[in-house]
Amino acid sequence: MTSDKVRIAVVGASGAFGKKHLDGLANIEDAVVTVVSATSPEKAQAVADEYGIANAVVGLDAVLERDDVDAVILATPTQLHASQTQAVLAAGKHVQVEIPLADSIADAEATLAAAEASDKVAMVGHTRRFNPSHQFVHNRIAAGEFNVQQMDVQTYFFRRTNTNAKGEARSWTDHLLWHHAAHTVDLFAYQAGKIVEANAIQGPIHPELGIAMDMSIQLKSETGAICTLSLSFNNEGPFGAFFRYIGDTDTYIARYDDLYNGRDEQIDVSDVAVSMNGIELQDREFVAAIREGREPNSSIRKVFDCYRVLGELEEQLA
């Protein structure tokens, strides 16, 4: 790097998660956003104006040809993640791609190979590893104070039309298995050990969206812990993902960055990390790994086993 700060481009900056990354990056002293990219000049310029960013461009190619970009955050449609991650690495830049890494095991394997052949940081946005709620539980596990016996997870949205997290029309179709299940499959392995058994069933296929709107997944880890994951795009609120950890010493309920005990009493996790925002903490890890020349938590290599499991589940569902 030729500057003291990591110079970052956010691609897909006008979307819901592009803006979440821009909000988080604004709090990171070692990072500066030099360019934002969107699907139209108008959208890109609107974001640049909102966040005070000097350069607004359209598409990924316009980012990769710049010499004021050290690293790229991809908050783009799922179907582009694998090919765009490979393109960023081929251009000699660090990359963080939003979850999921890919929507097929073949694309996930190809992207892992590209990362292994590169000397750049290649990270996937598995935010659950960074939420203070889940970090608190992970720290207790690492200290030998808590062992997961069962995780019960509900991931519920209302998406009978093709809309994004901001309620806007979406040009691509989201997916319960390759996107939303990826969060929990990776988190369960992170908290309870390598997954050795996995089963899935799904409900009817939506006639227009072409995807299953409801799904149930069972997992078992090498430690004997089990996980039951229910996913739906048919749920009319409350929305989001809710995690119940049943352990040998305690029960915890995690709701994004917040944590509660089994009696639904909130636990103070404000001292777990420097922020209470999981996306910001994820971005802090990305920047720190680049500056320190190390592999980040949620590198492609570290999260790849999640995609192995998703590939096995897809075969079952087929």
Tens digit of each residue's pLDDT (9 = 90 or more) over 5-50: 999 999 999 999 999 999 999 999 999 999 999 999 999 999 999 9
pLDDT digits (tens, 9 = 90+) for 43-73: 999 999 999 999 999 999 999 999 999 999 9
Whole-number pLDDT of residue 237: 83
- At residue 225, the 3 state secondary structure works out as coil
Annotated domain spans of the chain: 6-127+278-298, 131-272
Q: Provide mean pLDDT across the span 198-206.
A: 95
Tokens of 52: 């005070």
Please identify which residue in the block is written with the tokens 């096995």.
Answer: 312
Contact between 119 and 177 (Cβ < 8 Å): no
Contact between 33 and 57 (Cβ < 8 Å): no
Whole-number pLDDT of residue 111: 98
Residue 234 backbone phi and psi in degrees, to 5: -105, 0
Q: Provide mean pLDDT across the span 281-287.
A: 98
Amino acid, single-letter form, for residue 216: S
Amino acid, single-letter form, for residue 315: E
How many CB atoms sit inside 10 A of residue 147's CB?
A: 17
Tokens of 303: 């999260």
Contact between 113 and 120 (Cβ < 8 Å): no
Whole-number pLDDT of residue 171: 60
| pLDDT of 170 higher than 70 | no
Residue 130 buriedness (CB in 10 A; 0-12 / 13-18 / 19+): buried
Tokens of 126: 């598995």
Tokens of 184: 């929990």
Confidence of residue 137 (pLDDT cuts 50, 70, 90): very high
Tokens of 284: 């802090």
Q: How far apart are CA 155 and CA 230, in angstroms?
A: 6
Lowest model confidence (mean pLDDT) among 146-150, 205-209, 267-271, 279-283? 205-209
Q: What is the mean pLDDT of the chain?
A: 95
| pLDDT of 115 higher than 80 | yes
Task: Pick 186 or 175 by higher pLDDT.
Answer: 186
Tokens of 221: 């880890």
Tokens of 89: 């690495």
Tokens of 11: 């691609």
Q: How far apart are CA 304 and CA 314, in angstroms?
A: 15
- Is the pTM for the entire model greater than 0.85? yes
- CA angle centred on 194, ends 231 and 253, rounded to 5°: 45
| pLDDT of 172 higher than 60 | no
Contact between 162 and 209 (Cβ < 8 Å): yes
Whole-number pLDDT of residue 225: 98
| pLDDT of 183 higher than 60 | yes
**CATH class, 6-127+278-298 region:** alpha beta
Confidence of residue 168 (pLDDT cuts 50, 70, 90): low
Confidence of residue 222 (pLDDT cuts 50, 70, 90): very high
For the chain, the distance separating the N- and C-terminal CA atoms, rounded to the nearest angstrom, is 46
CATH architecture for the domain at 131-272: 2-Layer Sandwich (3.30)
Percent of the chain with pLDDT over 90: 88
- At residue 257, the 3 state secondary structure works out as coil
Confidence of residue 2 (pLDDT cuts 50, 70, 90): very low
Confidence of residue 1 (pLDDT cuts 50, 70, 90): very low
Select from 33, 31, 91, 32 the least CA-distant residue to 60.
91
Contact between 125 and 101 (Cβ < 8 Å): no
Whole-number pLDDT of residue 174: 74
Contact between 48 and 70 (Cβ < 8 Å): no
